[in-house]
Amino acid sequence: MSLVASNSCDRYEEDVVKEAVRKSVDELGGLDKFVSKDDQVLIKPNLLSPKAPKEAITTHPLVLKAVIELVQQLGAIPVVGESSGGFLVEESLTAQAFDKTGTRDVCQQLDVEMINFDRVATRKVVNPGSTVENFKLPLPVLEADFIISLPKLKTHGLTLFTGAVKNLYGVIPGMKKMEYHRRFPNPNQFMEVIVDILELVGADLAIMDGIIGLAGDGPGSSGIPCEVGSILASNDLVALDIVAASYLGYSDSQIKYLNLAAQRELGIAELNKIRTKGDFSQPEYKKYDLPSNVLLSYLPNFLLRLLSQVLMSKPVIDQQSCTQCKSCLDSCPQQAIVEQKNGEDNHLEIDESKCIKCLCCQEICPFDAIRLKENLLFKFLRYLG
């Protein structure tokens, strides 16, 4: 039976966060159960895009700071690594995210190296799964003695939930992430990629920032910040995500990639087989909005494979909010976003015939100008419900 620690933490105050992180790790037996002196410890936060901590899209810097300090207290050597979502031709979104999220400030304060996975050497590693022959992984990932996934508790328009497991997709350098979205447009196929990465890279421990999570059409600016009030920890990433997803209102059968991971014996995905420990207790009155694609989770797999592209919510550009920064255009794996020029009327449009609904554009838009338009059938069913 897997163990997930979950302790209450209702605000981003340094001493409060530090205590909740310490308690959750202690519930597992303490960090020294896992980490030894002089170990190279790679900490992988969720820095999806250059967003301020108050937007609840990225791992909060105070959670990162608390974890780094725990590692340093053991005499181990922490480094922080990430490859953010999206891609810009002339700039590094990951570097921008280090700055905007407060990560750089924490790392400079504690004298910790930051690694931009888009800018380091990689090595091909054979994939134990079936989606691709091999993955190009950054050398710091392969050379680490211990890996800590440091996710944010969030909904996700494509996979419905993103946590400790999905956070590992960020070890894939930027352009390759786009390539996998293009090669595996079906949600089921893409979820196989996520599980392949979990099996290949894994993480030895996960500590989740669930103080203020994201509901609605997350994981980007279209999501809705929601006060959950927990710090979770486990050495079973699948079990941690199942518990965290239940806080948002999901059943343990709805997050398909976690169930796929459990089928491969990479973790436990059934709540009745997971033991929770700690003082967190979610109030019964709390109910959060789930993504507009949530009804897809009730379809059997054979129908999902056939109908997902027809039934999924589609991204649309709100022309009034769009600043034409072109982040979406540069980051679209299908090149489905085009610039329309007609005199003074210059704007961006999404070519529906090319769009695979991977929602990369919605994730990366810095101005919340890309919204999801729900399928009319699902909209009607939601109305009836």
User: In the structure encoding, which two tokens stand for residue 64, read together?
Assistant: 């990162």
> Does pLDDT of 380 surpass 70?
no
Q: How far apart are CA 118 and CA 376, in angstroms?
A: 39
Average pLDDT taken over every residue of the chain: 92
> Does pLDDT of 374 surpass 80?
no
User: In the structure encoding, which two tokens stand for residue 72, read together?
Assistant: 């340093």
Determine what percent of the chain is predicted with pLDDT higher than 70: 92
Could you identify the residue written with the tokens 């293009």?
Answer: 182
8 A C-beta contact, residue 181 and residue 191: no
Q: How far apart are CA 116 and CA 138, in angstroms?
A: 9
pLDDT of residue 198: 98
Residue 332, CA distances (Å) to 87, 199, 265, 346, 351 in order: 8, 27, 33, 19, 11
How far does CA 175 lie from the centroid of its chain? 17
pLDDT of residue 171: 98
Residue 207, CA distances (Å) to 80, 202, 279, 348, 384 in order: 14, 14, 16, 39, 38
Confidence of residue 285 (pLDDT cuts 50, 70, 90): confident
> Does pLDDT of 70 surpass 60?
yes
3-state secondary structure of 16: helix
Determine what percent of the chain is predicted with pLDDT higher than 90: 74
> Does pLDDT of 211 surpass 90?
yes
Q: Tell me the backbone φ, ψ of residue 274, rounded to 5 degrees.
A: -115, 130
Question: pTM score > 0.75 for this model?
Answer: yes
Closest C-alpha among 75, 92, 91 to residue 83: 92
> Does pLDDT of 209 surpass 90?
yes
> Does pLDDT of 382 surpass 60?
no
Helix and strand tally (H, E) in the chain?
13, 16
**Parallel, antiparallel or unpaired: strands 345-350 and 337-342:** antiparallel
Q: What is the DSSP letter of 237?
A: H
Q: Residue 137 forms beta bridges with which residues?
A: 123
Least confident among 14-28, 109-123, 226-240, 338-352: 338-352
Q: How far apart are CA 4 and CA 255, in angstroms?
A: 18
Across 326-362, b (16+ Cβ under 10 Å) vs e yields ebbbbbbbbebbeeeeeeeeeebebeeeebbbbbbbb
Q: How far apart are CA 159 and CA 197, in angstroms?
A: 15
Domain limits, the chain: 2-277, 302-384
3-state secondary structure of 116: strand
Q: CA gyration radius for the chain?
A: 20
Q: How far apart are CA 381 and CA 326, in angstroms?
A: 35
> What's the average model confidence in pLDDT over 278-295?
88
CB atoms < 10 A from the CB of 98, how many?
24
Q: How far apart are CA 340 and CA 365, in angstroms?
A: 18
pLDDT of residue 307: 61
pLDDT of residue 185: 87
**Parallel, antiparallel or unpaired: strands 205-216 and 370-373:** unpaired
* Domain 302-384 CATH (choose: 3.30.70.141, 3.30.1300.10, 3.30.70.3270, 3.40.50.300): 3.30.70.3270
User: In the structure encoding, which two tokens stand for residue 330, read together?
Assistant: 């540069």
Confidence of residue 364 (pLDDT cuts 50, 70, 90): confident
Sign of CA dihedral 45, 282, 212, 285: positive
Check residues 367 and 275 and name the one with the higher pLDDT. 275
Q: What is the DSSP letter of 66?
A: H
| Cis before 219? omega within 30 | yes
Q: Residue 314 forms beta bridges with which residues?
A: 373
pLDDT of residue 65: 98
pLDDT of residue 348: 93
Q: Tell me the backbone φ, ψ of residue 141, rounded to 5 degrees.
A: -70, -45
By CB neighbour count within 10 A (0-12 exposed, 13-18 middle, 19+ buried), where does 224 fall?
middle
3-state secondary structure of 341: strand
3-state secondary structure of 209: strand
pLDDT of residue 174: 83
pLDDT of residue 47: 97
Q: How far apart are CA 145 and CA 282, in angstroms?
A: 35
**Parallel, antiparallel or unpaired: strands 77-82 and 40-45:** parallel
> Does pLDDT of 27 surpass 90?
yes
Q: Residue 373 forms beta bridges with which residues?
A: 314
Quick: pLDDT tens for 242-276: 999 999 999 999 999 999 999 999 999 999 999 99
8 A C-beta contact, residue 13 and residue 115: no
> What's the average model confidence in pLDDT over 3-12?
98
Give the CATH H-level superfamily of domain 2-277.
Answer: LarA, N-terminal domain (3.40.50.11440)
Quick: pLDDT tens for 310-336: 678 889 999 999 999 888 888 898 999
pLDDT of residue 337: 94
